[in-house]
């Protein structure tokens, strides 16, 4: 794809070879990249498979605006929670007649989003408390931080950040209101936790993760997106999901396990031979992880976990 390289990469895709390998059996079909971002995975797939077509979807208008032109690629703004509608908008086909050969979800946020202070995702950079991946998010982080009551903030930090000091942090935020920006929020969190908790990693890391998940309703989108993706897949179609924290990975693991209930074939068999009807065949018994070399090249890959599955039935 022709793209002028920006001074800083929009995003460095993770586990690219693994993604390409897993989609090889559907290389002549249509794959939906439901988290287009900087298009790195899509670029690798289009390069590897000359007959493949890709529909890219992203919530973020920046990702769509920066998408390169390519004769086998269409990119639209949309939420993968409503994947069918997004793909219908991209292809012009009737939503209820659509079927695709592959779906890729590379969850979370892109480096571009983290690195851009105006988006408000980073506790390292002063910026507005925004954290919306796109305009479809109902509330910004500022609205949550300054308007939610202490009980709701505590629930968000405990559930989506697995934050041990959720109550102390929520109460400190409520006392300090109005909170104006990300730097102020990071300082309030740091002051609210015991000194020992400040030593290992930045104390605001979990709180920022939790707010981001709440603002973008990320886990809800993932549950809906998985259902929509599995419904859209043709028999023999493949889904690949890369997650970055245990809350996401758990949802993927459970949905795949529920879909695979019935089939007892080992993951390395090319087709199901046990005959038990199952919606899915799991292709990764354990999640794939980046190699130490990949993590050294791209430290943001370190928490990535890839799971893949194939839709049951004859192609
Ligand atoms: C980790 S990045 C993807 C990077 C991409 N694979 C690449 O190679 O550049 C995640 C992207 O998914 C988008 N995203 C996250 N949740 C989404 C959702 N529910 N619907 C659509 N896009 C979403 C984000 O805006 C972000 O651009």
Per residue in 121-146, pLDDT tens? 999 889 999 999 999 999 999 999 99
Q: What tokens appear for 254 in the block?
A: 């459970």
**Ligand 1 lined by 130 (C-beta under 6 Å):** no
Which helix or strand (DSSP H or E) is residue 46 part of?
helix 40-48
Given pLDDT bands bounded at 50, 70 and 90, which one contains residue 247?
very high
What percentage of the chain exceeds 90 in pLDDT? 85
The pLDDT value recorded for residue 243 is 98
Distance 36 CA to ligand 1 centre (A): 5
Q: How far is the CA of 37 from the centre of ligand 1 (A)?
A: 5
Tell which residue, 108, 86, 112, has the closest CA to residue 98: 86
Asked whether 233 lines ligand 1 (CB < 6 A), one says no
- Of all protein residues, the one whose alpha carbon is nearest to atom 5 of ligand 1 is 37
Q: Does residue 315 surpass a pLDDT of 60?
A: no
- 47 or 2, greater pLDDT: 47
Q: Indicate if the pLDDT at residue 286 is higher than 70.
A: yes
Determine the pLDDT at residue 262.
Answer: 75
Distance from Cα 106 to the centre of ligand 1, integer Å: 6
Whose CA is closest to 219, among 259, 256, 260, 249? 249
Residue 120 confidence (pLDDT) = 94
The predicted pLDDT at position 198 comes to 79
CA of 187 to the centre of ligand 1 (A): 28
- Mean pLDDT, range 107-116, rounded to an integer: 93
Q: What is the pLDDT of residues 77-108, one digit of tens each?
A: 999 999 999 999 999 999 999 999 999 999 99
| Alpha-carbon span 274 to 296, nearest angstrom | 42
Helices (H) and strands (E) in the chain, counts: 13, 7
What's the whole-number mean pLDDT along residues 225-231? 97
Q: In this model, does residue 4 exceed pLDDT 60? A: no
pLDDT at 3 over 60: no
Q: Identify the residue whose C-alpha is closest to ligand 1 atom 8.
A: 40
pLDDT at residue 1, as a whole number: 52
Tokens at 258, concatenated? 């529920």
Cα 304 to averaged position of ligand 1 atoms, centre (Å): 14
Q: What distance in Å separates the CA atoms of residue 221 and residue 247, rounded to the nearest whole number?
A: 13
Asked whether 133 lines ligand 1 (CB < 6 A), one says yes
Count CB-CB contacts under 10 A for residue 87. Answer: 27
Q: For helices 246-260 and 218-232, give the axis angle rounded to 10 degrees.
A: 30
Interval 56-69: pLDDT, tens: 999 999 999 999 99
Cα distance from N-terminal residue to C-terminal residue, the chain: 30
Residue 5 reports pLDDT greater than 60: no
pLDDT band at 7 (very low <50, low <70, confident <90, very high): low
Average pLDDT value for residue range 178-192? 96
Position in ligand 1 atom list of the atom nearest CA 16: 8
Centre of ligand 1 to C-alpha 203, Å, is 25
Confidence of residue 10 (pLDDT cuts 50, 70, 90): confident
Which residues, 6+ apart, have CB-to-CB distance to 304 below 8 Å? Answer: 14, 15, 242, 243, 244, 289, 290
Per-residue pLDDT reduced to its tens digit, 18-62? 999 999 999 999 999 999 999 999 999 999 999 999 999 999 999
Atom 27, ligand 1: residue with shortest CA distance? 37
The residue whose CA has the least distance to atom 12 of ligand 1 is: 35
Ligand 1 contact, 53 CB (< 6 A): no
Distance CA 240, CA 282 (A): 10
Ligand 1 atom with least separation from CA of 80: 20
Distance CA 51, CA 30 (A): 9
Q: What is the pLDDT of residue 289?
A: 98
Bridge-based pairing state of the strands 30-33 and 305-311: unpaired
Ligand 1 centroid–CA 194 distance in Å is 34
Report which ligand 1 atom has the smallest distance to the Cα of 133: 25
Mean pLDDT value across the chain: 93
| 40 token code pair | 């790195």
Nearest 5°: the CA angle 30, 33, 37 is 150
Q: Which of 1, 87, 110, 224 to mutate to test the pocket of ligand 1 (most atoms within 8 A of CB)?
A: 110
CA distance 306 to 80: 18
Band the pLDDT of 270: cuts 50, 70, 90: confident
pLDDT above 70: percentage of residues in the chain: 97
Q: Residue 314: pLDDT band by 50, 70, 90 thresholds? A: low
Q: What is the pLDDT of residue 199?
A: 77
Q: Is the pLDDT of residue 204 over 70?
A: yes
122 CB near ligand 1 (under 6 Å): no
Task: Work out whether strand 100-106 and strand 73-77 pair parallel, antiparallel, or are unpaired.
Answer: unpaired
Whether 18 lines ligand 1, by a CB cut-off of 6 Å, is no
Cα separation, 232 vs 249, whole angstroms? 21
């Amino acid at each position: 794809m022709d793209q002028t390289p920006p001074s800083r990469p929009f995003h460095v895709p993770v586990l690219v070879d693994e993604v390409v390998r897993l989609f090889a059996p559907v290389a002549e079909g249509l794959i939906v990249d439901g988290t287009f971002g900087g298009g790195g995975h899509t670029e690798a797939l289009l390069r590897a498979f000359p007959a493949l077509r890709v529909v890219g979807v992203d919530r973020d208008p920046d990702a769509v605006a920066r998408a390169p032109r390519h004769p086998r690629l269409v990119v639209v703004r949309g939420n993968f929670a409503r994947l069918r509608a997004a793909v219908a908008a991209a292809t012009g086909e009737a939503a209820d007649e659509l079927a695709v050969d592959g779906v890729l979800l590379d969850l979370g946020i892109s480096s571009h989003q983290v690195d851009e202070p105006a988006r408000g995702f980073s506790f390292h950079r002063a910026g507005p408390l925004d954290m919306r991946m796109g305009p479809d998010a109902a509330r910004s982080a500022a609205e949550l931080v300054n308007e939610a009551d202490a009980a709701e903030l505590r629930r968000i930090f405990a559930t989506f950040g697995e934050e041990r000091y959720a109550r102390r942090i929520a109460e400190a935020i409520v006392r300090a209101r109005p909170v104006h920006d990300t730097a102020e929020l990071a300082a309030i969190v740091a002051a609210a936790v015991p000194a020992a908790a400040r030593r290992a990693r930045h104390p605001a890391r979990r709180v920022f993760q939790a707010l981001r998940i709440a603002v973008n309703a990320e886990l809800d989108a993932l549950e809906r997106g998985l259902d929509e993706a599995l419904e859209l897949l043709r028999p023999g179609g493949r889904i690949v999901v890369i997650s970055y924290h245990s809350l996401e990975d758990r949802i993927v693991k459970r949905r795949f396990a529920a879909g695979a209930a019935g089939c007892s074939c080992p993951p390395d068999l090319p087709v199901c031979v046990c005959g038990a009807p199952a919606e899915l065949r799991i292709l990764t018994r354990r999640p794939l992880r980046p190699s130490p070399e990949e993590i050294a090249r791209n430290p943001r890959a370190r928490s990535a976990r890839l799971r893949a599955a194939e839709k049951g039935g004859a192609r």
